[in-house]
Structure 1
Amino acid sequence: MRALLVVNPAATTTSARTRDVLFHALASDLKLDVVTTEYRGHARDLARRAVDGGTHELVVALGGDGTVNEVVNGLLHHGPAPRELPRLAVVPGGSTNVFARALGLPNDAVEATGALLDALRDGTERTVGLGLAAGTPGTPDESVPARWFTFCAGLGFDASVIGRVEQQRERGKRSTHALYIRQMVRQFIGEPYRRQGAITIRRPGQDPVEGLALSIVCNTSPWTFLGNRPVYASPQASFDTALDVLGLTKLSTSAVTRYATQLLMSTPERGPRGKHVVGLHDVEDFTLQSQAPLPFQMDGDHLGLRTSVTFTGVRRALRVIV
């Protein structure tokens, strides 16, 4: 099998020596071409060229969730192929690696490479559903192009936190869980929408859900990890269904303390609950709208401000070696 290995050299948990070991291990079972990314969006361009040219049967992403997201968007530039879905493999190299870990892969790059080689020899793979988000027609965001996400998206508070983390990383700070927690606290202190929610969920044929102060869209569960601890915002979310939504209508100090504790103690059977919690499961089409522009994120990548985003849950969008 001919494979393209797309490598993010800035991946936070792999060294040049480790990556060299991984290259040789993968090359023992694959006809491997290795390309290192050089700019934001390069992984997407490489994966798209591999699909358009028909040069590779498999694209392997070595990096964090951002690298995986770019590769997925390149593979699905023309949408899921009706007869032959694109094929992806992942070697985790970021600080969190939510998509890879949700697939059941080890969080260590060397161990994950071993698991990938075993899967290739055994011929095992699975299909996964993905989320697709785009600017809503008839709104100021209608020109925003559609983009795929693998595990989550968010409008509002969580995207604000991610934006703060990215600013810190541009200043040289290392991406750590402690950095995320510090920025979450700082964002909460200055959050202008925590008292009165500005977000509305609109679904075809359903009454709108108004007054959300926080909105998280999940394509799988867990939503994220704090170290080795999985966090379940929408425990029922799955790669085999459409999308789930967690919304909170209140972000006061007492409410945040309560729901943050519930998230930390969440399990595959039980997530956040209470009178200020809105939970939707297996939703195929919906729109998040805001009274004012709010930060927007997909797969942990801050994408700027949005007032309206339309989501679609697409089942069986991609094949993954696992």
Structure 2
Amino acid sequence: MRALLVVNPKATTTSERSRDVLVRALRSEVDLQVEYTLRRGHATALAREAAERGVDVVVTLGGDGTVNEAANGLMTSAPALAGVAGPPAYRLPALAVVPGGSTNVFARALGLPRDWADGTSVILDGLRDGRHRVIGLGRADDRYFTFCAGVGVDAAVVRRVEQARRRGHTSTPALYIRSMIGQFFSGEDRKTPPLAVERPGEETQTELSMVVVQNTAPWTYLGDRPINPLPDASFDRGLDMLAIRQLYVPSTARTVTQIASRKGDPHGKQVLKLHDQAEFTVLASRPQPFQLDGDYLGERQKVHFVSVPEALRVIC
């Protein structure tokens, strides 16, 4: 069995020593090639090339951004795009994820351990036993995502967090909470919601302030606590969507409290939820922040979301 290990050398929870241990462990089971990412988007190119060489497994060591790039590389490779009947999961290398970032939402949503060493043990057992899970992905225009996407306030918070990290701040739950509060009280979208959601054959929903899309549950984590606004979202179904209408202080505070509770599942007049959607389009009257899997990707005025069933095989 041939495998490619894609390592993000800036992964926050691993060291050079732990990477060496991982490499030795994988080499005991597979014919392993190791590549280190050098820039944003490099993991996409590496995974795409591996799929086109016929590698059996692509392993990532990094955070959710590295996983997202690898998934995009696999899904845009020649085997995935070949005009062959059947879902791409069975034409592509399997994906294995060793958690190495600060949050690791995708790995945790799959039930993998947070610790990289324990995660490696699960992957090794899966490789020996031939164990895997077939999952669906989401696609936003031409970019795939594994667990979430956002347009509007949600993505603006991600942008604030990334800016703070570039200034040397550590990614912590407190940083996200401060960024969310700062965005809420500074954003113009409180008064003039710019977003709308179009669905085939359905009435357009307008005057929305933010849109969150989930491909699985939870949406994210604050430390050990899952944040679960759409608890029925699943890798095995279509996309789920949560939209907030007007960002009035009392109703927004109530919605945030509901989202942060252990039950999640917010509700009320200012909340719009859609479940198990094959496709929909988010439109904006002015450019809005946009994020996929926790990475800020600039501003958009239109994003077409599609559910892609049976997209990947994941070792877990």
TM-score when normalising by structure 2: 0.95
Residues 1:105 and 2:112 aligned together: yes
Distance 2:164 2:290 in 1: 18
Equivalent pair of 1:3/1:58 in contact (CA under 8 Å): yes
Identity among equivalent positions (%) equals: 54
- Which residue does the alignment assign to 2:312? 318
Supply the distance in 1 between the matched residues of 2:51 and 2:313 (Cα, whole angstroms).
Answer: 14
Question: Structure 1: which 4+ aligned runs deviate by more than 3 Å?
Answer: 78-83
Is the CA contact 2:51–2:92 (under 8 Å) kept in the aligned structure 1? Answer: no
Give 1:162-177 correspondences, 5 Å limit: 162-177=158-173
* Matched letter for residue 298 of structure 2: G
For the pair 1:220 / 2:227, whether they are aligned, the reply is no
Structure 2 distance, partners of 1:80, 1:278, is: 35
Aligned to 2:152: 156
User: Partners of 1:17 and 1:179 in 2: how far apart?
Assistant: 29
Name the CA distance, whole Å, in 2 between partners of 1:118 and 1:233: 33
Instruction: Give aligned pairs, total.
Output: 308
1:203-229 deviation digits (Å, cap 9, x = unpaired): 011101111111100000001011111
| Unaligned 5+ runs, structure 1 | 135-145
In structure 2, the residue matched to 1:143 is none
Tell me, yes or no, if the aligned pair for 2:3 and 2:56 is still in contact at 8 Å. yes
Cα drift, residue 170 of structure 1: 1.5
Q: Say whether residues 1:92 and 2:61 are aligned partners.
A: no
Q: Which runs of 5+ in 2 are unaligned?
A: none
Instruction: Report the residue type matching 1:20 in the other structure.
Output: D
- Paired position in structure 2 for 1:140: none
User: 1:251 is aligned with what amino acid?
Assistant: L
| Separation in structure 2 between the aligned mates of residue 19 and residue 255 of structure 1, nearest angstrom | 47
The structural deviation recorded for 1:85 is 3.5
Does the 8 A contact of 1:159 with 1:295 survive in 2? yes
Residues of 2 paired with 1:272 and 1:171: CA distance?
34
Partner of residue 74, structure 1: 73
- What residue number does 1:208 align with? 204
The offset of 1:265, in angstroms, is 0.8
- Mapped to 1, the partners of 2:208 and 2:23 lie a distance apart of 46
Cα deviation digits, residues 269-290 of structure 1 (max 9, x gap): x511111110000101110001
Q: Could you give the per-residue CA deviations for residues 24-47 of structure 1, whole angstroms, max 9, x where no partner exists?
A: 112111111111111111100100
Q: Does 1:39 align with 2:39?
A: yes
Contact 2:150–2:213 under 8 Å retained in 1: yes
Give the letter for the 1:76 counterpart. Answer: M
Equivalence for 2:15: 15
Question: Deviation string for 1:127-178 (max 9, x for gaps)?
Answer: 10000111xxxxxxxxxxx000000000000100111111111222222222
Confirm or deny: 8 A CA contact 2:44 2:74 kept in the other structure: yes
**How far is the alpha carbon of 1:252 from its aligned partner?**
2.0
Pairwise CA distance, 1:233: 1.5
Matching of residues 202-281 of structure 1 within 5 Å: 202-267=198-263, 270-281=264-275
Q: Are residue 120 (structure 1) and residue 127 (structure 2) matched? A: yes
Tell me which of 283, 294, 301 is aligned to 1:300: 294
CA distance in 1 between partners of 2:15 and 2:251 (Å): 41
Contact 1:266/1:272 (CA < 8 Å) preserved in 2? no
The corresponding residue for 2:30 is 30
The question of whether the paired residues in 2 share the 8 Å contact of 1:80 and 1:317 is answered with no
Q: Is the contact between residue 6 and residue 59 of structure 2 (CA under 8 Å) also seen in structure 1?
A: yes
User: How far apart are the structure 2 equivalents of 1:250 and 1:23?
Assistant: 50
Corresponding residue of 1:3? 3
Tell me: CA distance 1:43–1:280, structure 2 relative to 1, closer, same or farther (3 Å). same
